[in-house]
Amino acid sequence: MNFENLYAVYYMQVYSYVMTLSKNQGVAEEIAQNTFVKALSAKSTYCKDSGELTWLCAIAKNLYFDELRKQKKVVSFEENEESISCDDFEMKMESSDFAYKIHCILHTLNEPYKEVFSLRVFGELSFKNIGSIFGKTENWARVTYHRARLKIQERIDEE
């Protein structure tokens, strides 16, 4: 696929992914654009084993964390565990008050829980793609997402 097609097909997905990380439209636009610039210059290093979107999201993630380091922002996260059903959780996500609580709790989670949860819920990526971004298995992504959900539910129940 040539560069123009790559950009046309994946720009909005990369932009959406970065929005889940940064929660800032300007930052997301800049990092999404820089992702394609870096992809163009590094296309010889592209590993055909992973999908193009996975490769682009990995570049975007690295650029985002580079940006955080430049701004000397420290993001702290905590690990979470407890069980809830997917249906209950997603129905609660529709409530704006509940969504606000989720975002507040999410910002206290340790890595990789925060990012895996964000990629799955807000970025709507598959577990396979999430695992690829981290260089892990699909099962690892599922377990990590589940643990993040459990921790979030535990904190909600405490409140």
The reported pLDDT for the residue numbered 94 is 47
Q: What is the predicted pLDDT for the residue at 46?
A: 58
Say which amino acid occupies 32.
A
List the chain residues with pLDDT less than 70. 1, 43-50, 72-99
Domains in the chain: ranges and CATH = 3-70 (1.10.1740), 86-158 (1.10.10.10)
Residue 5 CB partners (closer than 8 Å, separation 6+)? none
Pairwise CA distance, residues 121 & 118, whole Å: 5
pTM of the model: 0.46
